[in-house]
Amino acid sequence: MLKTILAISGKPGLYKLVSRGNRSLIVETLDEKKKRMPAFGTDRIISLADIAMYTDEEEVPLRQVLNNIKEKMEGGKVASVDLKTASKDELFQFMAEVLPAFDRERVHASDVKKLIQWYNLLIDNGITDFDEDMKETQGDNVEERL
């Protein structure tokens, strides 16, 4: 499922891949509006299945981090962290509970905020099975890091 959920650089939120055009992808926003629009080759588009988080030892796939949030912290509910008022320390404390070995030098507070926002969007849209395409992504190269 995470292979069809996309992040587009410079645009907020997440997008679901709907179709492929000649020179573009047709994507739909993962919010209450469900607006469809084209995403062109000039846009920096990345699948959530290709994103990983830095840790002290190795990089951890985003699906594993999302599962950690779901299982350890929130039980499949929306994250309880208030992103508007949360301090850097509160965000890092949340991250330490979810992924204890995350690299505090390379993972910024804005990355943790983005992670929580993405998690909340996925949960709000009924996407809760983050391991669905685990076998398909094991051989893929990780293209982007948070």
Tokens 């943790």 map to which residue? 112
Portion of the chain with pLDDT greater than 90, in percent: 61
Taking only the tens place, the pLDDT of each residue in 5-61 is 999 998 989 999 999 988 899 999 998 889 999 999 889 999 999 999 999 999 999
CB 14 within 8 A of CB 118: yes
- Domain ranges within the chain, ordered by starting residue: 2-48, 52-134
What are the structure tokens assigned to 110, written together? 């804005």
CA 77/CA 73 separation, integer angstroms: 9
Task: Indicate the CATH number for domain 2-48.
Answer: 2.30.30.730
CA 17/CA 110 separation, integer angstroms: 25
Q: Nearest-5° angle of CA 66, CA 18, CA 134?
A: 35
CA 107/CA 92 separation, integer angstroms: 9
Fold of 52-134: Arc Repressor Mutant, subunit A (1.10.10)
